[in-house]
Chains A and B, each alone.
Chain A
Amino acid sequence: MLDRAPAGTSVKDEAARRVRFRGAGFVPASSRFGGWIALALVIAIWQAAGSTGLVNPLFLPAPSAIARAIYQLAVSGALWQHLSASLLRIGVGWLLGTAAGVVVGFAIGLSRLARSVGITFISALFPIPKIALLPLLILWLGIGEEPKIATIALGVFFSTAISVYSGVDAVPRNLIRMAQSFNVPFATIVRKVIWPGALPAILAGFRITASVALLLVVSAEMIGAQYGIGAFVLQAGNLMQTDQLLAGVVILSVFGLAVGKVIGWLETRLLHWR
């Protein structure tokens, strides 16, 4: 039982003090323009350092030189040649890896047998850097697009499978029980409860797999390709054309940003209920 605390002495005669506010901080809000201003500032300082000769342009070309290089690449058609090769590899590899990852992830999330087998294999194979398998894949699939696409697909597959079965696991059990209590068939529960419930995790997984695909395409192209952004960057580095090299890096960065925006748009469209 709860006991009363002993009564304190009367303080009616004392002057009242204001209670000190202690609730400040720990609520970081991002400013709308802060990021852009900071970026512009860094580019301006970088440009100034390049223009005044403070930094050797061989090691770090000024932003204007990089912009010029991108423009020349675009005008000459080389940009599209390299970019289209990379996009094709990323697109096909990502789609194949994602399709297989979603199927396997759902199987692991829904079936006891698939879970026991699948998690063992995924745990064993996921940590392997997929680029290390490229020589083996070249041996199996020949020199061409296939081993590069397969490397990307493998990298995407494991991350997708993990995010999908984690998403399926995270679907609130009470929703599944609710559906069962109305005798809703298994396939409808998967389609109407588990799929939308797992979608936030699946889309979060897409963000990761998009960067995995980008990383692997560049690595694969650096190892064995004539065209592609990775091959272009490597070639520029070998020729000490640092403006071209950084032009390739900027293009990769823009590509990564664009993919992030697309996934963000998908999240807004599909997860508006959150």
Chain B
Amino acid sequence: MDLISNHISHRFGDLAVLDDVSFTVSAGEVVAIVGPSGCGKSTLLSILGGLLQPTSGAPELRGSPPADSLNPLTFVFQDFALLPWATVEENVEFSLLHTPLSATQRRALVEDALRRTGLTDFRKTYPKQLSGGMRQRVGISRALAVRPAILLMDEPLSALDSQTRELLMEDFVRLLADGGMGAVYVTHNLEEAARLADRIVVLSRRPGRIREVVSVPMTRAERGEIAAREKLLALQNQIWSLIRNEAIDAEREVQHA
């Protein structure tokens, strides 16, 4: 199943946030969206996931999701969005409660998702008892339980410390390794984008337009090797040179807002 951003533009009142953004995420592909602060990255993701109505254009799907997918487009949120009154397993099961699955089938999916994210021993724990990294693991586990075709990840690591970020990045690489699941990964962190994405969509300053789409010329497995670091660094520098000046302008604009 492909996800298409078809000429999407969006305004918040008088403020133009996105301007004619078009690209396609093919089945199993990971596309990162980067750009200066306030360029509309998260807005675009909300529109792609059907949580926000665009002013013009539309998000579209082409093809069918995998037969076992219960929620083809599934979000992983920056702030985890966990129910604080529910345990880890209840949070994961929450995404399945309204589906036609039986309790046994639900339990099996929750089990599998908890196991894949290393949360089996924390099933009865409440979110407040967990570290930021573990909370995000619950968010990922909840997303995996519904067997998504495409994960929509809105800066999923930005609320975490650098060590936890590194560990979760390894988890993402592993989860996306077999190409069975695609992802749209919004981030301001170019290193994350270069580590994870097949293609990187670079947005301009507000209103966000596509400045460039950069392909990452390596498999994700190759990127973990030491020899690849230089190439990845060069790629990050190339993208940074595209957005640096606009990032400075955006930062000043935010400060004066």
User: A residues engaging B (CB < 8 A)?
Assistant: 174-175, 177-185, 188, 192-193, 196-197, 271, 273-274
* 30 pairs, CB–CB < 8 Å, chain A vs chain B: A174-B79, A174-B81, A175-B83, A177-B51, A178-B75, A178-B81, A179-B94, A180-B51, A181-B49, A181-B50, A181-B71, A181-B73, A181-B74, A181-B75, A182-B95, A182-B98, A182-B146, A183-B98, A184-B94, A184-B95, A184-B97, A184-B98, A185-B98, A188-B98, A192-B94, A192-B97, A196-B85, A273-B86, A273-B126, A274-B84
How far apart are the CA atoms of A245 and B126 in the complex, in Å? 50
User: B residues engaging A (CB < 8 A)?
Assistant: 49-51, 71, 73-75, 77, 79, 81, 83-86, 94-95, 97-98, 126, 128, 146
Q: Which of A174, A188, A273 contacts B77 (CB 8 A)?
A: A174
> Which residues on the A side are within 8 Å of B50 (C-beta)?
181
How far apart are the CA atoms of A174 and B95 in the complex, in Å? 15
Considering the complex of A and B, which 3 residue pairs feature the smallest CB-CB distances, nearest first?
A178-B81, A273-B85, A182-B95
Q: Looking at B51, B81, B126, which has the most chain A CB atoms within 10 Å of its CB? A: B81
> Binding site of A, secondary structure by majority: helix, strand, loop or mixed?
helix
How far apart are the CA atoms of A183 and B98 in the complex, in Å? 8
> Which residues on the B side are within 8 Å of A177 (C-beta)?
51, 81
How far apart are the CA atoms of A180 and B51 in the complex, in Å? 8
B184 to chain A, nearest CB (A): 13
Q: Knowing A188-B97, A273-B126, A273-B128 touch, does A182 contact B83 (C-beta < 8 A)?
A: no
B59 to chain A, nearest CB (A): 13
How far apart are the CA atoms of A156 and B161 in the complex, in Å? 47
Are B83 and A196 touching (Cβ within 8 A)?
yes
How far apart are the CA atoms of A197 and B95 in the complex, in Å? 17
Q: Of all chain A residues, which has the CB nearest B91?
A: A178
Q: Which of B77, B97, B98, B126 contacts A178 (CB 8 A)?
A: B77
Q: Of all chain A residues, which has the CB nearest B81?
A: A178
Q: Of all chain B residues, which has the CB nearest A175?
A: B81
A237 to chain B, nearest CB (A): 48
> Which residues on the A side are within 8 Å of B94 (C-beta)?
179, 182, 184, 192
Q: Of all chain B residues, which has the CB nearest A177?
A: B51
> Which residues on the B side are within 8 Å of A192 (C-beta)?
83, 94, 97
> Which residues on the B side are within 8 Å of A180 (C-beta)?
51
Are A193 and B49 touching (Cβ within 8 A)?
no
Q: Of all chain B residues, which has the CB nearest A200?
A: B85
> Which residues on the A side are within 8 Å of B77 (C-beta)?
174, 178
How far apart are the CA atoms of A171 and B221 in the complex, in Å? 42
How far apart are the CA atoms of A197 and B86 in the complex, in Å? 11
Q: Looking at B73, B74, B85, which has the most chain A CB atoms within 10 Å of its CB? A: B85
Q: Of all chain B residues, which has the CB nearest A196?
A: B85
